Amino acid sequence: MKTSTPSSKERIEHILLAINKIQQYTADHTLQTFLNDPKTVEACLFNYTIIGEASLLIDKSLLEKIDYPWYKVKAFRNFILHEYHAIKMDVIWDTTVMIIPELKLVILALKSL
């Protein structure tokens, strides 16, 4: 049962935790080993949905302080949840390798505000 609604600060922590989990889960993988590890793929997809959902619920005035395409984070979450049948795992991998490190820096900057 839901006890309280997380604050924006708590949601930022949720995003950081999800990012750290994705990075931990994929640290020793290549694209090929990632594609051959369905548990890791599914764990990463779940954490991407947390990132997207939490970013949807952070106070918009706080998000506006950081110049970042937040709509892409939300759209990625929506795609995973609603277009699950069309997910291209190489895109998930590329996002993990190229976008997540950048997003982590952005979230850390947001956390320091």
Give per-residue pLDDT as tens, 52-106: 999 999 999 999 999 999 999 999 999 999 999 999 999 999 999 999 999 999 9
Structurally, how many domains does the chain consist of? 1
Instruction: Kindly state whether residue 64 falls inside one of the protein's structural domains.
Output: yes
Domain containing 48 equals 8-111
pLDDT of residue 3: 74
Amino acid sitting at position 110: L
Domain contains 49: yes
In-domain check, residue 2: no
Mean pLDDT of all residues in 44-57: 97
Note the pTM of the prediction, 2 decimals: 0.94
| Nearby residues of 21 by Cβ (< 8 Å), 6 or more positions away | 43, 47
Asked if the model's pLDDT at residue 2 lies above 70, the reply is no
Residue 33 lies in a domain: yes
With a cut of 70, say whether residue 44 has pLDDT above it.
Answer: yes
- Mean pLDDT (the chain) is 96
Which of left, alpha, beta for 67 (phi over 0: left; psi -120 to 50: alpha)? beta
Is residue 1, in this structure, part of any structural domain at all?
Answer: no
